[in-house]
Structures are given as C-alpha cells and as structure tokens.
Amino acid sequence: MSWIKEDELNLLEKISANVLKAGPMPKHVAFIMDGNRRFARKKHMERQEGHMQGFNKLAETLRWCKHLNIQEVTVYAFSIENFKRTKDEVDGLMELAKQKFLKLLDERDNLEKHGVCVRVLGDLEMLPLDLQELIAKAVITTKSHNKCFLNVCFAYTSRYEITNAVREMAWGVEKGLIRASDVSEALLSECLYSSNSPNPDLLIRTSGEVRLSDFLLWQTSHSCLVFQSVLWPEYSFWNLCEAILQYQLNYKSIQKARDLHQEHQALLQLEADRACVAEHLQHHGNGKPADAQRRQEALLHYTTCREERIQDFLEALKHKRDSYFSDLCSKDVLA
C-alpha cells in the first residue's frame, strides 16, 4: 500500500470534517498505534499480517489528517522495548520497515507533490545498516518539503530520548560551546529528537491500553490525551473525529496550561540570568554594589551572549545530526 492515499472523503465525512474545522483544530497529532497483534489473533491471521494491516491503516489515517488540515503527525512505530520480542517478530518488523521505506522512495514524486517531509526519530544505530541507509535516503529526499510532516519514532523511547538530550548538552559543555549555567528546560527541549516540531496538541492511543508506554513523555505534558478501545487496524475516520472533539472540548484548559507554563519558563530563565549576572558583578565589582543601570546593562549583555552561545551550539548539534544521514547516504553510494 502507498504511503499517501489519494481518495477523497465521502459526503458524510466531508460534512463532518467541515463541522469539526469550524472549531479549534489540532495542528499536530501523535498516535500510539496499538493492537496489531491482537487484531491478527482476532482475525486468525499471521502476526506479520497484523503489522501489515497496521501500516495500511496509517496510510489511511494520514489521508484523513490531510483532509482535516492536520499538518503534522507523529507515530510510535517501533519502541526500543520491542527488541525484546521474539527474533522472528523483530526480523519481520525490520523487513516490513525496509519494504515500506523502499516504497516511500519509489513514491518520492508523490511525496513532493503533497509536500510531505518524513523524519525518523530514535537511535537509528540500533537498526540494521541497510535499514539505516534507506531511512537516511528517505529523510534527505524529503527534508526540503514543508507542507506537512510525518515523524516516525523508530528504535525510540522517551526516556532514552531525554537521556540522549542530556548527553548532547554535556557534549556542548565539554566542547566549550555552552556553559553549564546555560542548561535549562528550554535547552533540553531543543536537544530532543523532536526539536524541529511543535509539541503534539493531541495524543491518541488505540486498543484500550491507558498508558503512554514511554512515548513523548516530555512533549505531551500539556497535550490532550485520548485513549480509545478500538484496535489500530480497525481505526476509523469516526474514531479520529471523536478524538478531535475531545481536544476541542478541552482546548481552553490546554491552552491556559501551555501559556502559564511558557510564562513560568520565561520567569525561571530571567531569574537564572540575574543570578549569573549578580555573581559576575560580585566577583568583578571590587566589593562595590552595582547601581540599577549597570545591573540592567550587564543583564542585557549576558542574555545576548547566552542566546548567541546557545544558537551556535544548536547549529553544531544540527550539523552533527545531519552528518549522520549524509554519511549513511555516502556509504550507500560508495557501496
């Protein structure tokens, strides 16, 4: 099945979509696509066929999101914990992923037509090299597209992502790009795999499980969480509409929580900057207290320098991550 389905909505779906779009719509939706194996057992089919049906449902769901003007979708495709499954199942999932990324590369013209940018988030070095190379090609091929975004979390858990972000900041301090005092909640967010994306507005989990299973824990602290009992391969347009309606009913409280958090973050950063400036003035002020104007000038100077340091660090981090993909593509060309 294609990554992008061209089918239009039927009349009733179009009417319902237009009614929903009259209210606040999520711009970014995340899915925990759970229930493929249970679906296979229910239908007395091979487990691998259940996973195949799950991918087909993803393609269909992306079509619905496109018609609902949802610009970004993030999916939990393969957890690091999934490596603990049987070797046959893991090998089957790796083979399915290879097939689907090959299909994606075959459809590059269609992806360009729709402006789909594909990103793959996770520790890809855990994957077979040939799959890494296919992923790198897909990412580089679509990186300039900017109409809609598909983030595929593969070899991913949120705790691993957060740990990796801490390592990246430690690397920045070690290289002298940033100072230990520059480390903050906001900077950690910029070091996550998902740093190019806004946080999800809505997270949906299927199959009746009511847990996040280590998925986007940091990013969904102010998202609407919807748990639905339907198995992922049986997901329908109406299930998606129901989840969006839940988001709309909770929209005001979600926005208020986000705004308050943003204000709190800005206040914490200001307090941290003032503390650094006060310490600097104390050490370089010959014991004399600085007047208000000097403190304000020092604060402005310090803030500007900190922001420049962080920008340089983030550019170096981006270059490091981009090099991983370009090096993989170079290896494939040489091979």
Residue range 296-329, pLDDT digits in tens:
999 999 999 999 999 999 999 999 999 999 999 8
Which one-letter DSSP state was computed for residue 22? T
Question: Which pLDDT does position 7 carry in this prediction?
Answer: 77
Examine the pLDDT at 258 and tell me if it is beyond 80: yes
Tell me the pLDDT tens digit for each residue of 176-196.
Answer: 999 999 999 999 999 999 999
Examine the pLDDT at 288 and tell me if it is beyond 70: no
Q: Tell me the average pLDDT across 238-267.
A: 97
Q: If pLDDT is split at 50, 70 and 90, which confidence band does 332 have?
A: low
Query: What residues contact residue 131 under an 8 Å CB cut-off, 6+ apart?
Result: 94, 97, 98, 101
Question: Which pLDDT does position 286 carry in this prediction?
Answer: 61
Q: If pLDDT is split at 50, 70 and 90, which confidence band does 272 have?
A: very high
Question: Which pLDDT does position 294 carry in this prediction?
Answer: 87
Residue 292 or residue 262, greater confidence: 262
Q: Tell me the average pLDDT across 126-146.
A: 95
Examine the pLDDT at 151 and tell me if it is beyond 80: yes
Question: Which pLDDT does position 284 carry in this prediction?
Answer: 73
> At residue 31, what are phi and psi to the nearest 5 degrees?
-125, 130
Question: Which pLDDT does position 99 carry in this prediction?
Answer: 93
Q: Can you give the pTM of this predicted structure?
A: 0.93
Question: Which pLDDT does position 287 carry in this prediction?
Answer: 60
Tell me the pLDDT tens digit for each residue of 162-175.
Answer: 999 999 999 999 99
Tell me the pLDDT tens digit for each residue of 34-91.
Answer: 999 999 999 999 999 999 999 999 999 999 999 999 999 999 999 999 999 999 999 9
Examine the pLDDT at 277 and tell me if it is beyond 70: yes
Examine the pLDDT at 333 and tell me if it is beyond 60: no
Beta bridge partners of 73: 29, 150
Examine the pLDDT at 334 and tell me if it is beyond 60: no
Burial tier of 84 (Cβ tally within 10 Å: 0-12, 13-18, 19+): exposed
Q: Tell me the average pLDDT across 107-114.
A: 90
Question: Which pLDDT does position 159 carry in this prediction?
Answer: 98
Examine the pLDDT at 335 and tell me if it is beyond 60: no
Q: Where are the alpha helices (DSSP H) in the chain?
A: 11-20, 36-42, 47-67, 87-106, 108-114, 129-142, 158-174, 185-190, 237-249, 251-284, 292-334
Tell me the pLDDT tens digit for each residue of 192-243.
Answer: 999 999 999 999 999 999 999 999 999 999 999 999 999 999 999 999 999 9
**How do 72-79 and 116-121 pair as beta strands?**
unpaired
Nearest in space to 204 (alpha carbons), one of 47, 50, 74, 300: 74
For the domain spanning 11-263, the CATH number is 3.40.1180.10
Beta carbons within 10 angstroms of residue 155's beta carbon? 22
